[in-house]
Amino acid sequence: RARNQADLAYAFADASTDAQVREQIQLETELHRALEREEFFLVFQPQVALTDGCIVGLEALLRWNHPSRGVVPPGQFIPLLEETGLIIPAGEWIIDQACAQARTWLDTLPGQSSLRIAINLSPRQFQSNNLLEQIKNAITRYSIPPQQLELEVTESLLIEDFPGTHQLLSQLDTIGVRIALDDFGTGYSALTYLQAFPFHAMKVDRSFVSTVGGSRKSEALLKTIVQIGKSLELEVIAEGIETKAQFDFLRKHDCDLGQGFGLARPQPVGEVEALLAKSHIRTLLGDE
Ligand code: C2E
Ligand code: MG
Ligand code: MG
Ligand code: MG
């Protein structure tokens, strides 16, 4: 009996694995076509000054408009783009597209001349040999002031190929673009990275932000992370602000910028323009 049950469990496991493998292969085939069929698009999430709600920047986030599944979130296909190497051409498209959009906003929105655009880069893109060229080309083609382009990298990049990565980040720093350490605190978090690489900004991961209102220790940790960033003269951006309590806590502890559903969700170009027209997001400021 027990054996039968075990067999049954195995059979189920096999079936689901098979289905998963088939689905992966299917997705991979479709991903190959997605670029040429122009199924990718970018949404943008505001980065807001905690002091006054001013929109300082916009983070570009990739979406895939799949012909039958609808809009697929990046968690479901970016790993596959990375495994297949497709992140290289897709990444080049993202850089170009985000800079083209930035140019449009700089041209059409008065009072937004210092708006920044943030782009996420995968470690794989650093192995592509021409990442520096791609960035240089895009800022030249669209006349983007380099200090208005921010590149977000994660800690996983830093442990991989130390000399090559360090050199490339230094070259990017030299051309004047900003570099942000994304998801700070979730990876290997060797604090030495913070001073060994030319970062301009630190993005505190949502998992720390969500502890506001929880234990005294977890709040102390969040406060300390912000202080570390500030003391290294980094701009500190809190990710995933959802509540007023989180917003108030971070503001009180001198965090510079915030991003999160409580301020604004990532959204398509048209809706972002409506927000930019107002230029401030005051939802959590609670002005009297
Ligand atoms: P990330 O760079 O840390 O981006 C922030 C993610 O948190 C986004 O998810 C955003 O929608 C989500 N988020 C923002 N505010 C809140 C909040 O208040 N609450 C919660 N629960 N979530 C919030 P998204 O767009 O699904 O992207 C997930 C990850 O996929 C990104 O994390 C980034 O690592 C990667 N990704 C997205 N676009 C690109 C891209 O163009 N290139 C590369 N290489 N990676 C990308
Ligand atoms: Mg990011
Ligand atoms: Mg992040
Ligand atoms: Mg994060």
| 5: its two tokens | 């049950």
pLDDT on residue 159? 81
Find the 174 Cα to ligand 4 centroid distance in Å. Answer: 27
If one counts every other C-beta atom within 10 angstroms of the C-beta of residue 272, the result is 21
Nearest to 200 by CA among 163, 241, 151, 140: 151
Mean pLDDT in residue range 131-157: 97
State if residue 92 touches ligand 1 by the CB under 6 angstroms criterion.
no
Mean pLDDT of the chain: 92
pLDDT band for position 1 (cuts 50, 70, 90): very low
Place of tokens 């604004």: 264
Choose which residue among 42, 61, 149 to substitute to test ligand 1 binding: the one with the highest number of ligand atoms within 8 A of its C-beta: 61
Choose which residue among 120, 153, 184, 208 to substitute to test ligand 1 binding: the one with the highest number of ligand atoms within 8 A of its C-beta: 120
State if residue 182 touches ligand 1 by the CB under 6 angstroms criterion.
yes
Residues 6+ apart with CB under 8 A from 284: 53, 241, 243, 244, 247, 248, 262, 263
pLDDT on residue 287? 57
- Looking at the predicted structure, is the pLDDT value of residue 162 above 80? no
Of 9-23, 106-120, 212-226, 231-245, least confident by mean pLDDT is: 9-23
Of 9-13, 122-126, 193-197, 259-263, least confident by mean pLDDT is: 9-13
Strands 257-258 and 40-49: antiparallel
Compute φ and ψ for 133, nearest 5 degrees: -60, -45
Mean pLDDT in residue range 211-231: 97
pLDDT in tens, 240-255: 999 999 999 999 999 9
| Residue 260 DSSP SS3 | strand
